Amino acid sequence: MQALAANNYLKMLGLTVAAVIVNILAFSPAFVGVAIGGSALETAFGVTLLIASAIALIYGSYSWLYKAPIVLTPDRVRSREDFAAALAPYSKIRALAEDVSLTLEQMERMDKRKETLLKVLQQRFDPAEMSFAKFWSVANEVENLFYLNIKSVLNRLNVFDESEYERVMTRKTARYSPKLLQEKTVFYNDYMAYIKHAIGTSEEMLLQLDKLLLEISRLDSIEPGEIERMPAMVEIDSLIKQTKYYKQ
């Protein structure tokens, strides 16, 4: 990630400048004027400051310039926190920032929908009832499919070439023929369209959970056999089947 590398260099530059300023203020006679070799207290303070500055610079250079970043590839993503961590680096890429931000927001909304649904189900049904289990099972299936959809987005983001995208979309390159440049433009337009389509699918899943919540809140009583015929359940079942087919 070029943007991430540039950000790390700026952090290191800031740390270096801060260390230099602090040491100038401490050791310059015009300011504090700490003298190593003077009193025991001054010497101890001066040596400690120099050692602390050196440790800070060494640790900063290792963390920001040399330490290999931990990259969560799609195949290693398991938990909700993994998804958030895997998406985060792409939020620093200008072309993807808005879509990634929306995806992270959708994850937060999915958490809230599940929490609200659980409360509503606990108010309406006994956890041992078949109706409770059926509704909760469907909600979990929607959530699983929701994260499977995000995983497909991560697979695409994982192969995104930011510098190449910028060259092609701004047409600031002479290395390609007009025909090849046009083909690459179509490729990246299709790429971005896929990301937006996947985000739209996630949004539809959230909408279906909203509809299900509304229908459950209106229920006075329901038999287990009637659950599958509820409009929201029919729509969710259709969405699940369509999305599973699309992901194959």
> Positive or negative, the Cα torsion across 147, 152, 156, 159?
positive
Q: Residue 237: its pLDDT value, please? A: 80
One-letter amino acid for residue 191 of the chain: Y
DSSP at 68: P
Q: Residue 224: its pLDDT value, please? A: 58
The C-alpha angle with vertex 14 and arms to 160 and 45, in degrees rounded to 5, equals 140
DSSP at 60: H
Q: Residue 74: its pLDDT value, please? A: 64
Going residue by residue through the chain (248 aa), what tens digit of pLDDT does each one get? 444 556 677 787 888 988 889 888 888 888 778 888 778 888 888 889 889 888 988 888 777 676 544 455 666 788 899 999 999 999 989 999 999 999 999 999 999 999 999 999 998 888 888 888 889 999 999 999 999 999 999 999 998 998 889 888 887 666 778 888 889 999 999 999 999 999 999 999 999 999 999 888 887 666 656 777 788 888 888 877 776 554 54
pTM of the full predicted structure?
0.68
Q: Residue 194: its pLDDT value, please? A: 95
- How far is the CA of 146 from the CAs of 62, 159, 245, in angstroms? 38, 21, 14
Do 204 and 180 contact (CB within 8 A), yes or no?
no
| 3-state SS, residue 231 | helix
Do 87 and 103 contact (CB within 8 A), yes or no?
yes
